[in-house]
């Protein structure tokens, strides 16, 4: 599609010759995500609409999936507690990432493999916990394999990439937990002096950054980490030292 957009430049390929026009569809904005959710779920509070948008990264199919899972956990746990529901949702996301990281790490035999597998396994929990994620990050900071070394193998490099990816996702997951489970800070920040279903401008900007962080994982963990840090600075949360 990038090639098609460059048509007219000294560049041409079969793709360019096959289509008249390509329509670019971007991620949903927060307002668009809220509109989609309001058309499907009656009475979903604004904080939970924002939560679904952040976890989905503005991707429509993910937005619907996360909303369905939110309703599932509300029925399963018989609660509307932000602490419990956010923990359940983030825990589900984290378990998926941990399982994928475990599979990838097992296929990279290295002297570092045993440490990496044990570190990943310690993050297999039913309910996500911010302190546990911080503890995993502290272990990562102390891990000698986090920095490139002379003579490292391709497997060593791959294991380091896996650990970095999961560490940054833990940073993101912990941030979502910290933000959405502190009701005393959350509600005033989101709605300020407006009505319960309207968001303040500061809240909209912050939520957009956190959703963008989720999108950045498809590009590089470094970009995602930068956005998470920016989000934390725009709220009451203290950034981690990465």
| 36-84 per-position pLDDT tens digit | 999 988 888 888 999 999 999 999 999 999 999 999 999 999 988 888 8
Per-residue pLDDT at 6: 55
Percentages of the chain per state (helix, strand, coil), in multiples of 5: 70, 0, 30
- Report yes or no on 122 lying in a domain: yes
92-146 tens-digit pLDDT:
899 999 999 999 999 989 888 999 999 999 888 777 788 888 998 999 988 888 8
What CA–CA distances, in Å, run from 212 to 4, 126, 145, 166? Answer: 25, 26, 29, 17
Q: What is the mean pLDDT of residues 153-177?
A: 92
What CA–CA distances, in Å, run from 82 to 58, 224, 232? Answer: 21, 24, 19
Per-residue pLDDT at 196: 59
Q: What is the mean pLDDT of residues 225-238?
A: 94
Per-residue pLDDT at 227: 96
- Report yes or no on 204 lying in a domain: yes
The residue range of the domain holding 95 is 25-233
Contacts of 177 (CB under 8 A, 6+ apart): 86, 87, 90, 128, 129, 130, 133
Q: Choose the most confident range, by mean pLDDT, from 32-36, 147-151, 214-218.
A: 32-36
d(CA 12, CA 230): 40
Q: How many CB atoms lie under 10 A from the CB of residue 3? A: 14
Written in H, E and C, the secondary structure of 178-230 is HHHCCHHHHHHHHHCCCCCCCCCHHHHHHHHHHHHHHHHCCCCHHHHHHHHHH
Number of domains in the chain: 1
- Report yes or no on 169 lying in a domain: yes
Per-residue pLDDT at 82: 85
Which pLDDT band holds residue 235 (cuts at 50, 70, 90)?
Answer: very high
Q: How many CB atoms lie under 10 A from the CB of residue 90? A: 25
- Report yes or no on 73 lying in a domain: yes
- Report yes or no on 29 lying in a domain: yes
Whether 8 has a pLDDT exceeding 70, the answer reads no
Whether 10 has a pLDDT exceeding 80, the answer reads no
Most distant CA pair in the chain, distance: 61
Q: What is the mean pLDDT of residues 177-188?
A: 85
CB-based contact 123:136 (threshold 8 Å): yes
Q: Give the residue among 97, 176, 161 at the shortest CA–CA distance from 129.
A: 176
d(CA 86, CA 179): 10
- Report yes or no on 123 lying in a domain: yes
- Report yes or no on 5 lying in a domain: no
- Report yes or no on 209 lying in a domain: yes
Percent of the chain with pLDDT over 90: 51
């Amino acid at each position: 599609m990038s090639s098609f957009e460059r048509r007219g430049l000294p560049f041409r390929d079969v793709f360019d010759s096959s289509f008249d026009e390509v329509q670019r569809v971007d991620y949903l904005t927060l307002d668009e995500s809220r509109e989609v959710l309001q058309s499907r779920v009656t009475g979903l509070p604004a904080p939970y609409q924002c939560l679904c948008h952040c976890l989905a990264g503005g991707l429509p199919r993910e937005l619907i999936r996360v909303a369905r899972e939110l309703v599932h956990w509300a029925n399963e746990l018989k609660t509307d507690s932000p602490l419990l529901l956010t923990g359940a949702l983030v825990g589900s996301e984290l378990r998926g990432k941990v399982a994928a990281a475990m599979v990838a790490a097992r296929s990279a035999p290295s002297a570092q493999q045993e440490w990496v597998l044990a570190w990943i396994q310690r993050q297999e929990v039913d309910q996500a916990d911010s302190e546990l994620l911080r503890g995993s990050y502290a272990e990562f900071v102390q891990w000698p394999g986090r920095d490139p070394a002379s003579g490292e193998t391709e497997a060593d490099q791959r294991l380091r990439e896996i650990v970095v990816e999961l560490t940054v996702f833990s940073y993101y997951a912990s941030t979502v937990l910290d933000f959405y489970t502190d009701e005393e800070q959350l509600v005033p920040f989101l709605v300020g002096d407006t009505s319960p279903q309207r968001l303040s401008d500061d809240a909209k900007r912050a939520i957009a950054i956190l959703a963008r962080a989720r999108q950045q994982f498809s590009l590089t963990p470094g970009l995602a980490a930068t956005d998470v840090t920016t989000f934390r600075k725009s709220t009451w949360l203290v950034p981690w030292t990465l």
